[in-house]
Amino acid sequence: MAETQIAKGFKNEKVGEVVSTRMQKTIVVEVSRRVPHPLYKRIIGKRKKFYAHDEEGRAHTGDVVRIIECRPLSKLKRWRLADVIRRAPQVGVQPSELDVKV
């Protein structure tokens, strides 16, 4: 009985990369996994996109994030952003480095 109470509190977690932040308070996270082919046993990569709720807009495209399962928030959203594991590198170019003559 104690085992069922302990297991009841845990929710599914997934780690993936943010591929879109175009919607308000919503991010699209792509989760990749490597599984053996059922017949040929060769390792293949599979990926799936999940829509997650991001209330504060903390995640940006390219970030690696952890999402947690939650109640349905809309037609597609069943996940929420837990935390940002790794930020994407920000590439900036100075105007003086461009080949534009002013």
Give pLDDT tens digits for 16-37: 999 999 999 999 999 999 999 9
Nearest-angstrom CA–CA distance, 39 and 31? 23
Please state the φ and ψ torsions of residue 8, each to the nearest 5 degrees. -70, -30
Query: What is the enclosing helix (H) or strand (E) of 64?
Result: strand 64-69
Domain coordinates of the chain in residue numbers?
Answer: 9-89
Residue matched to tokens 């993936």: 16
pLDDT at residue 26, rounded to an integer: 97
The pTM of the full predicted model, rounded to 2 decimals, is: 0.79
Beta-bridge partner residues of 26: 23, 53
48, containing H or E segment: strand 43-53
What CATH code is assigned to 9-89? Answer: 2.40.50.140
